[in-house]
């Protein structure tokens, strides 16, 4: 696999792993990981403002499920992409688009993923 494919895989594991962990933790403990001290203590990231603007409670079971489902989807997409399953490229691209709301770090990773996936070395499945 080309270096760009490995970068895409690592970034996918990072965002997928984090979303899965944070969403599962929120279900089990009642809340996401938040800063313990400082001016942002107990506050969620900027993504929560975007979600709240749609009328959803960022701490609701629905959003916790979104985290887990999107995280697991990322991990499955990465696995398919890394093993060159024909739809792996599309699954990675879909997860990246579906993660654009996750401001700020998730958005950045999603944009980088999309750029990488559109490189000639990865377009079509990353077999280069």
Half-sphere exposure of 14 (CA within 13 A, CB side): 14
CA dist., res. 8 & res. 29, Å (int): 31
Tens of pLDDT along 41-82? 999 999 999 999 999 999 999 999 999 999 999 999 999 999
In the chain, what are the domain boundaries?
3-36+43-118
Q: Where are the beta strands (DSSP E) in the chain?
A: none
Is this prediction's pTM over 0.95?
no
Tens of pLDDT along 19-51? 999 999 999 999 999 999 999 999 999 999 999
């Amino acid at each position: 696999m080309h270096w760009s494919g490995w970068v895409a895989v690592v970034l996918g594991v990072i965002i997928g792993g984090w979303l899965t962990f944070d969403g599962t933790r929120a279900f089990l403990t009642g809340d996401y990981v938040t800063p313990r001290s400082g001016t942002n203590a107990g506050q969620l990231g900027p993504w929560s403002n975007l979600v709240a603007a749609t009328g959803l409670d960022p701490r609701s079971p629905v959003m916790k499920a979104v985290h887990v489902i999107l995280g697991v989807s990322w991990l499955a997409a990465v696995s398919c992409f890394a093993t060159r399953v024909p739809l792996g490229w599309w699954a990675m691209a879909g997860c990246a688009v579906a993660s654009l709301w996750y401001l700020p770090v998730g958005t950045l990773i999603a944009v980088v993923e999309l750029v990488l996936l559109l490189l000639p070395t990865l377009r079509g499945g990353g077999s280069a």
